[in-house]
């Protein structure tokens, strides 16, 4: 009975933080358009690298596409998919802690940190987040393999771990590559400690097989061109200097945790023998901290997408504290819960503030200088700092998602084009409003999944689109102009649209940062 009670208590923060966003209207977020379209294409039966090109694997879109099959291809379905992904991440994190024999108190406090820092801030699917979740699943299987040393079929856990490590790589290469590196080091150390290198051979063979399955079927579909390094010339988008700069200018928490954990480990090693399970946990946490430092350079959107390291570092500290048996004192354990809840409050306060603001509304008096009035035009400093003016669209695919009022009315005007007598069959949508393909409807392009020049599309595709525009191939072109971003949508496309097409409408893009304008162009007859 006690174990069931503990299990329920451990799952409460995971499930609670995962489901909480579903009870609120959510704001349109950066890269949400990409998540929707990739899932929609898989949902529609399209084949990656054949019907659409991406410079990474397609594993990120599998869960959202599955949820589209269940709940329909709407934006809010993606929030439901993310709730599932968040629960999966929490379960996997707990699984790792169980396999290193962390006590209930250590598990609960660690899960609380994980839920408040990592889960609660993620309500839309992001590949930079999903790759970490699949890494956690892989590590869960790996640490189960380490634990089940006497079971005859122990190797099945290792094979399953290798499968999900492969899954991470074909979700996002940087996070996936770091996941494989961490997993490989853990397997090598474990093999050395038990004086048996079968785990190394099994994992190497498994990875070769899984990588072959993920690559060979798509080689006939231009896989080598699309998969990140296939374009000539290839320009590296990161450098060692970038990593050193971020490491030395920022990364304060990571460096603090790293110094603390190394200090604890060497003190423990000096005083007593370190068990293999504790050594593997130490290596894992150090690997996660190093990964977080690199990840913030290679995957810099959103800004805090490497925040997963807090829970791992704290879990290691709690793991050491449990040896002192102070958690057995209920008062101490309660104080820890209170401190964690207050310390990591910024994400749940965003939801609580929506309720508090109705009870305690802010009365802004510009004649009194305060935190709310000392800047006369806050929007000039921080675009859309206040999202209170955003609205929900009545259009089915956009329901429960807030956008600027201009965007909402612009969507309505665009959908009215369906009523024109002239048939509109060919539409090019270079904007973040990808669900228009379902609502209008029109066929998605056979080409890049997204149009960021040098990232999601390249010169070959740019020239093809320019040629089609010059030949009046499209009836309607929707183009999003974001002047502050480097060819997020290619500037050359807009230049040719101005020459060969007629601008019939424009409205705000649903962006929280780096403002943009969505322009609707019609072919000149």
pLDDT value, residue 369: 60
Q: At what angle do helices 104-114 and 2-19 cross, to 10 degrees?
A: 0
pLDDT value, residue 514: 84
pLDDT value, residue 353: 72
DSSP state of 323: G
Ordered DSSP codes for 434-450: TTHHHHTT-PPPSEESS
pLDDT value, residue 380: 45
pLDDT value, residue 352: 75
Q: What is the pLDDT along the chain (525 residues), one digit of tens a residue?
A: 678 888 999 999 999 999 999 998 888 988 899 999 999 999 999 999 999 999 889 999 999 999 999 999 999 999 999 999 999 999 999 999 999 999 999 999 999 999 999 999 888 999 989 999 999 999 999 999 999 777 778 999 999 999 999 999 999 988 899 999 999 999 999 999 999 899 999 999 999 999 999 999 999 998 888 886 656 655 555 667 777 777 777 778 888 999 999 998 888 877 777 788 899 999 999 999 999 888 877 766 666 677 888 999 999 999 999 888 888 888 888 998 899 988 887 777 777 777 776 676 666 666 666 555 555 555 544 454 567 789 999 999 999 999 999 999 999 999 998 877 567 889 999 999 999 999 998 999 898 998 999 888 988 999 999 999 999 999 999 999 999 899 999 999 999 999 999 999 999 999 888 889 999 999 887
Query: Does residue 403 sit in helix, strand or coil?
Result: strand
pLDDT value, residue 360: 66
pLDDT value, residue 515: 87
Cα(247)–Cα(298) distance, integer angstroms: 13
Beta bridge partners, 428, equal: 477
Q: What radius of gyration do the chain's Cα atoms show?
A: 25
Instruction: Please report where in the chains the tokens 């997993």 appear, as a residue.
Output: 183
Pairing type for strands 52-53 and 447-448 reads parallel
Q: At a CB cut-off of 8 Å and minimum separation 6, what does 41 contact?
A: 51, 52, 61, 444, 449
Terminal CA-CA length for the chain: 76
pLDDT value, residue 373: 57
Pairing type for strands 391-392 and 401-403 reads antiparallel
Cα(41)–Cα(65) distance, integer angstroms: 8
Q: Measuring CA to CA, which residue among 465, 484, 348, 456 is closest to residue 31?
A: 456
| 263 C-beta neighbours (distance < 10 Å), count | 10
Residue 62 host element (H or E): helix 62-71
What are the tokens at 237? 């988008």
């Amino acid at each position: 009975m006690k174990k069931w009670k503990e299990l329920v208590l451990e799952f409460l923060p995971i499930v609670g933080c995962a489901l909480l966003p579903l009870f609120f209207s959510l704001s349109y977020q950066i890269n949400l358009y990409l998540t929707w379209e990739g899932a929609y294409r898989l949902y529609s039966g399209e084949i990656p690298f054949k019907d659409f090109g991406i410079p990474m694997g397609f594993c990120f879109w599998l869960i959202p596409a599955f949820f589209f099959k269940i709940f329909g291809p709407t934006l809010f379905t993606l929030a439901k998919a993310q709730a599932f992904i968040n629960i999966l991440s929490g379960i996997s994190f707990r699984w790792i802690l169980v396999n290193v024999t962390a006590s209930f108190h250590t598990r609960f406090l660690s899960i609380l940190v994980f839920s408040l820092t990592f889960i609660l801030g993620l309500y839309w699917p992001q590949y930079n987040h999903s790759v970490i979740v699949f890494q956690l699943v892989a590590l869960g299987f790996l640490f189960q393999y380490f634990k089940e040393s006497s079971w005859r079929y122990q190797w099945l856990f290792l094979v399953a771990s290798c499968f999900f490590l492969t899954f991470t790589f074909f979700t996002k290469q940087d996070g996936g590559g770091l996941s494989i590196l961490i997993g490989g080091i853990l397997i090598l150390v474990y093999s050395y400690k038990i004086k048996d290198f079968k785990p190394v051979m099994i994992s190497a063979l498994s990875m070769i097989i899984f990588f072959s399955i993920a690559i060979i079927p798509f080689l006939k579909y231009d896989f080598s061109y699309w998969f990140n390094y296939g374009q000539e010339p290839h320009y590296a988008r990161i450098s060692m200097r970038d990593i050193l700069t971020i490491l030395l200018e920022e990364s304060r928490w990571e460096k603090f945790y790293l110094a603390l954990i190394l200090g604890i480990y060497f003190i423990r090693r000096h005083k007593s023998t370190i068990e293999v399970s504790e050594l593997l946990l130490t290596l894992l946490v150090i690997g996660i901290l190093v990964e977080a430092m690199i990840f913030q350079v290679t995957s810099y959107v959103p800004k805090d997408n490497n925040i997963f390291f807090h829970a791992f570092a704290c879990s290691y500290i709690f793991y050491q504290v449990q040896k002192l048996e102070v958690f057995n004192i209920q008062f101490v354990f309660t104080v820890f819960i209170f401190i964690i809840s207050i310390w990591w409050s910024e994400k749940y306060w965003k939801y609580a503030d929506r309720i508090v603001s109705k009870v305690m509304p802010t009365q802004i008096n510009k004649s009194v200088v305060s935190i709310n009035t000392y800047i006369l035009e806050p929007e000039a400093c921080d675009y859309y700092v206040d999202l209170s003016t955003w609205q929900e669209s009545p259009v089915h695919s956009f329901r429960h998602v807030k956008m600027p009022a201009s965007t909402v009315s612009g969507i309505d005007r665009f959908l009215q084009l369906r009523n024109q007598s002239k048939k509109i069959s060919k539409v090019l949508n270079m904007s973040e409003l990808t669900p228009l393909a379902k609502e209008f409807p029109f066929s998605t392009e056979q080409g890049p999944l997204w149009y960021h020049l040098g990232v999601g599309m390249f010169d070959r595709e740019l020239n093809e689109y320019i040629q089609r525009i010059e030949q009046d191939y499209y009836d309607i072109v929707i183009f999003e102009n974001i002047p502050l971003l480097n060819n997020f949508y290619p500037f050359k496309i807009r230049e040719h649209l101005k020459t060969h097409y007629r601008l019939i409408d424009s409205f705000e893009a649903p962006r929280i940062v780096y403002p943009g304008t969505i322009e609707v162009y019609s072919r000149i007859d």
